[in-house]
A and B are shown apart, each in its own frame.
Chain A
């Protein structure tokens, strides 16, 4: 008997019992679609994380200062800038502020920093200008708006040179940032940037707890990092008071966390695929028992063991393949819905789609063999007598 005839026969049997076929396939459908959805979302998020970290520039060092007993001042930051191999430094202060323009209010995160911050964080201005050194020196009440914040407060109006209330005080808008999109649960477009000195006054603090240092190039970053660490050790006399983090380290950590998550999700989903396979095996066993008489008839007419084995095996494979195809469709659909609903990115990977489909096929073969073998071994005389 040809394979084609066998597949046609299997399709007929499946069509003859649609509800059961659907329920049998359900495990495979859920398994395949969840593997695809979860892995796509996981890979999408790790991709966007590494992209956003790359956006910051891989020659960026983040310095956090945990010791507040010894004041770390702008002068100290300037000394770091003197170090050979350091291109720029930007002290940062951040928190949340309430903005108000007329009747529109909005609470957003703010960052206080200096003129270098634009370069250090790879920001770009779409309108107006960035903060300048003069703004720093004179503690100017000027503000640069993120693109979303600008739209929220001013709509389609040009916000540059307009007044906005920041925590009740009047600030002048000097520029608007170009849109960068969000990542890691942060929307970098919904933010404002003010001069560092102004931010210190706003928060009533003189300490610096964090600053960015930009190295001349990525090649020398490790040496620069050591130099900064040595400089900080001189200031604090204690290596626990500060930490210097390399962007690459952060990226490696993030992507390894993400990879683990993706593996975990994929693993859990694969288990549901396996459970789906057991479902198929179960139904195939029931089907063999139900069709004992049919097997007897076919054998009496001249079907060989091989023919019966193939018939049931192909039926199991067709079931799991159908389930796999539906699962792939459903998985892509679910991923699409997720990305549309949350605005995040998903990375479809052809290899994952193919792998989960092939896995479902393999599940059909592995779990179809046992029932098919049972069917093929039935004694025709006893099978014919079965009612």
Chain B
């Protein structure tokens, strides 16, 4: 059975100028992600992880290479076009939750819809629905500082979900959480994947990475698929 590819990247190159030296953050990186996939991208810091995430998340342009997202070639899009792509196709989940401190949980969840131009009443309904999905509807009126880390991350996941984007992009989603809460958050992500959401998880932690169906290692800007054996190996250890 052919499953359509949501992300198709080929030979991406991204270089930075650091003083006199040129750092190659991505070196002919290629990856394909299919609908319903749960890909973990692992790598130590400095491996090009963040650059890859920024490009997948349409926050940055590659220097060269091809990036097709949901059938649209995004590698040469203008900034304002990328903003629309981000709004409609990507749900960001950050390490530090990145909720706006002055807005309540439900208002934070509404944000992507505001930029999409959804009507206020519909927006509120969709946001509440999304909060329900991650099991935190009872805290809708709380401000971020009144919530625990795990609760804040749930709100952030609800915000990522609310616009029904084809891809959830999680950058170290458990990095700021204790191990018990981390487990809960990973379970939420697993459940979402089982419900059909495509998830790309970026982490340095192999324990977290093994929750994915597929694992891709990044080192020195190069991507390599981790074989089933190694994957199994990581599961055991």
Give me the interface of A with B, judged by CB distance under 8 Å.
1-2, 5, 12-13, 16, 293-294, 296-307, 380-381, 384
Contacts and interface: CB of A to CB of B under 8 A. Distances in A.
Contacts of A307: 115
Interface string B217-235: 0000000000000000000
B59 A380 contact: yes
A300 B84 contact: no
Interface stretch (B39-47, B86-94, B134-142, B199-207): B86-94
B59 A302 contact: no
A297 B115 contact: no
B102 interface: yes
B89 to A, nearest CB: 9
A300 B57 contact: yes
A299 B79 CA distance: 10
B100 interface: yes
Nearest to B110: A5
A298 B59 CA distance: 12
A301 B88 CA distance: 9
Given A5-B114, A300-B57, A381-B54, A306 B100 contact: no
B80 A302 contact: no
Nearest to B60: A381
Interface of B: 54, 57, 59-60, 79-80, 83-84, 86-88, 92, 94, 98-100, 102-103, 111-112, 114-117, 120, 159
A300 B111 CA distance: 11
Given A12-B102, A301-B87, A380-B59, 18 more contacts: A1-B114, A1-B115, A5-B114, A12-B103, A13-B102, A297-B98, A297-B100, A298-B100, A298-B115, A300-B59, A301-B86, A301-B92, A301-B159, A302-B87, A302-B112, A303-B83, A381-B59, A384-B59
A300 B86 contact: yes
A294 B159 CA distance: 15
22 contacts: A1-B114, A1-B115, A1-B117, A296-B98, A297-B98, A297-B100, A299-B59, A299-B86, A300-B59, A300-B98, A302-B88, A302-B112, A302-B115, A303-B83, A304-B115, A305-B79, A305-B83, A306-B80, A381-B54, A381-B59, A384-B59, A384-B98
Contacts of A305: 79-80, 83
A303 B115 contact: yes
Nearest to B159: A301
A335 B209 CA distance: 72
Contact of A302 (B60, B83, B99, B100): B83
B60 A299 contact: no
Contacts of A12: 102-103
A374 to B, nearest CB: 16
Given A300-B92, A381-B54, A294 B100 contact: yes
Contacts of B57: 300
Nearest to A297: B98
A299 B111 CA distance: 11
B152 to A, nearest CB: 13
B84 A301 contact: no
Contact of A299 (B83, B100, B102, B117): B83
Given A13-B102, A297-B100, A380-B59, A304 B83 contact: yes
Contacts of A384: 59, 94, 98
Nearest to B102: A16
Most buried by A among B54, B57, B59: B59
Contacts of B54: 381
Contacts of A296: 98
A200 to B, nearest CB: 83
B106 to A, nearest CB: 14
Nearest to A384: B98
B116 A302 contact: yes
A300 B112 CA distance: 9
Contacts of A298: 100, 111, 115
B111 A301 contact: yes
Nearest to B163: A302
A20 to B, nearest CB: 14
A367 to B, nearest CB: 23
Most buried by B among A2, A5, A300, A301: A301
Nearest to A5: B114
Contacts of B115: 1, 298, 301-304, 307
Nearest to B98: A297
B194 to A, nearest CB: 25
Given A13-B102, A297-B98, A297-B100, A302 B117 contact: no
Contacts of B79: 305
A279 B165 CA distance: 42
Nearest to A16: B102
